[in-house]
Structure 1
Amino acid sequence: MSADLKNSTSNGCENLLISEEQQEKINEVRRLVGPLPDKLSVYCSDASISRHLRARNWNVKKATKMLKETLKWRLAYKPEEIRWDEVAREAETGKIYRSNYVDKHGRTVLVMRPSCQNSKSTRAQIRYLVYCMENAILNLPQNQEQMIWLIDFHGFNLSNISVKVTRETAHVLQDHYPERLGVAILYNPPKFFEPFWTVVKPFLEPKTANKVKFVYSDDPNTKNIMEDLFDMDQIESAFGGKDAAGFDINKYAERMREDDKRMPSFWEKGNALAAAPQPVLTTTTCFNPTNLASDSDASDEKADKSPSDGVDVEALSPDNDLPVPNDSSNAAAARDVN
């Protein structure tokens, strides 16, 4: 890959220029995945496949396996169907929430406060995290694929450390939301966090670990990271900004319920495609997914009896082909949230 196409910058923004060789790999992954039912094909745009390829250093075989695993997970977990009232209890303390501001590049900001943990259920914690990720993606501008994490360590102590939750969090985020993180800022982590970071870091891909920035309020050099990324007039005082308003669960609930109303239409094919930040080709070569195979009437009958929209979840093995859609005429690629 030529130097001008490498997608890393000091501020964490991705360069989405795609070479002809990379576009061919995107097309190859789509061919290997095969035709998909509408419910899954909406997650297989060029942008989505490109994220999976970048996460696997443009290795087609590894990216295809990763994408198939994500499709299987999304089909079973249904992250886009999680609604606020299902996870509201997890949010009461403000341990994770989407801020009402963005960074200077327009990226959604998720604020995390691990000391505000209010649940002992790993399952419930992960489900709320997935809800927050889906909501953050819903609110990304058209020209952005990534988000920012602001992690506030005020009040953090040893009781807040859970290797199990951290490992599961890393698994979900890296395997099912590749290349969604722009920068993660760890704000004022205590000294005892450093050995924990040493334990956790091996769970992370090196590329992900390099996006983690340690910022200390008494260190002018690291404070510059905040000033480079944010308008400090908008950011919370807990992060050195000028906004003294605290987290209000009632106001936040209103915002989330309004976003929940937008979620179904966001994943309709037309809207998802319009919202997708498609990579820019460096040549005139362009992929146009057409002539996908139709399925038989027998498969349609089988689909009517299936609890998973006609798709056998077990068939979605990374080593097997994905199921052929009931109606592949609408299988044009649209935006993926992974």
Structure 2
Amino acid sequence: MAIRTCLNLGRPQIAPVTLTKSPSRNCKFSVQSCSLSSNQSHKQLIVEVKEKLGRDYHSLPVGKNGRDDEEMILWFLKDRKFSVDEAVSKLTKAIKWREEFKVSELSEESVKSIADTGKAYVHDSLDVYGKPVLIVVASKHLPAVHDPVEDEKLCVFLIEKALRKLAAGKEQILGIIDLRGFSTRNADLKFLTFLFDVIYYYYPKRLGQVLFVEAPFIFKPIWQVAKPLLRSYTSLVRFCSVETVRKEYFTEETLPANFREKTL
């Protein structure tokens, strides 16, 4: 019917030419508009969060990691799927926690005594994917010996240090838990609870992956207890060997010293 109509009008080629060109222009315009609209929408939401925090939580600090830090606001908006109310709720808790924990006062000097145990550190080099690397040597964590408050300070300081090493365009860090030599004396459910709460509530989605390296059989029951604490982070955990760390995450030059093959 449509073909006959076009033929009767004496212009059978006009309809298909118009139909192929017009959608192409509209499609390009739609993609550009969508991108612009998305950026404008994000900026608008950031402003909404700032205004709400300023109005309802004016006692919160301002500046870096404060209630007017747009980078931090955007990160929490992303985490909360751009819900203003949910982002405000989570941000408020995070900013209050940072103030109470005195995160801004943590320094190399303030955590030196516990850092000197070698139980955890930020690796000098990035992994092959450009992520800063936070390494924990589980066999050196001794909850019966070390002050738990100092452990918590070291934990937060190292997360902050790793995040400062993020390159432009990168957003996440790699965690490596070296479980070689792990025993029951190293098990610490209380500290694990603190660690996962900190990551979930105050540094959401900053952890790209966690490697559990050479997990011994004794670690399995501890993992079953700890697993629910990770919530959505469970999917980020990978149990692997030292060889996997060497081959898949670092080059010969950037490999951490304690993962290098020992030479006689």
TM-score normalised per structure 2: 0.73
| SS of aligned partner of 1:86 | coil
Q: What residue in structure 1 maps to residue 231 of structure 2?
A: 205
Taking the TM superposition and a 5 Å limit, the aligned residue runs for 1:248-327 are: none
SS in 2 for 1:150: strand
* 8 A contact 2:127–2:254 mirrored in 1: no
Higher helix proportion, which one? Answer: 2
The one-letter amino acid paired with 1:31 is E
- Within the candidate set 191, 207, 226, 2:217 is matched to 191
**Which residue is 1:42 aligned to?**
64
CA distance in 2, matches of 1:165, 1:86: 19
Alignment of 1:1-338 (within 5 A): 21-34=41-54, 39-43=61-65, 44-118=68-142, 119-206=145-232, 208-217=233-242, 223=244, 227-236=247-256, 238-239=258-259, 241=260
2:95 and 2:197 map into 1 onto residues whose CA distance is 15
Alignment RMSD, CA only?
Answer: 2.6
Greater gyration radius: 2
Distance in 1 (alpha carbons) for counterparts of 2:60 and 2:146: 37
CA deviation string 1:63-104 (max 9, x = no partner): 211100111112222212112222111112211111111112
| Runs (5+) with no aligned partner, structure 2 | 1-37
Q: Secondary structure at the match of 1:34?
A: helix
User: Take 2:231 and 2:80, find their aligned partners in 1: how far apart are those partners?
Assistant: 10
Deviation at 1:167, TM superposition (A): 0.6
Q: Distance in 1 between matches of 2:99 and 2:257?
A: 40
Structure 1: which amino acid aligns with 2:117?
A: T
- Paired with 1:226 and 1:37, the residues of 2 have a C-alpha distance of 48
Q: Return the letter of the residue paired with 2:237.
A: V
User: Residue 226 of structure 1: CA displacement?
Assistant: 5.5
Q: Is the 8 A contact 1:40 1:75 kept in 2?
A: no
Contact persistence 1:98–1:109 (CA under 8 A) = yes
| Residue type at the aligned position of 2:215 | P
Check whether the contact 1:40–1:71 (CA below 8 A) recurs between aligned residues: no
Alpha-carbon distance in 1 for matches of 2:163, 2:115:
18
Q: Which amino acid aligns with 1:84?
A: E
TM-score, structure 1 normalization: 0.58
Q: Secondary structure at the match of 1:129?
A: helix
Deviation at 1:116, TM superposition (A): 0.5
| 1:52–1:179 contact (8 Å) kept in structure 2 | no
Closer, same or farther: CA 56–37 of 1 in aligned 2, 3 Å: same
Change beyond 3 A, Cα 1:32–1:214: same
User: Matched residue of 1:110: which SS?
Assistant: strand
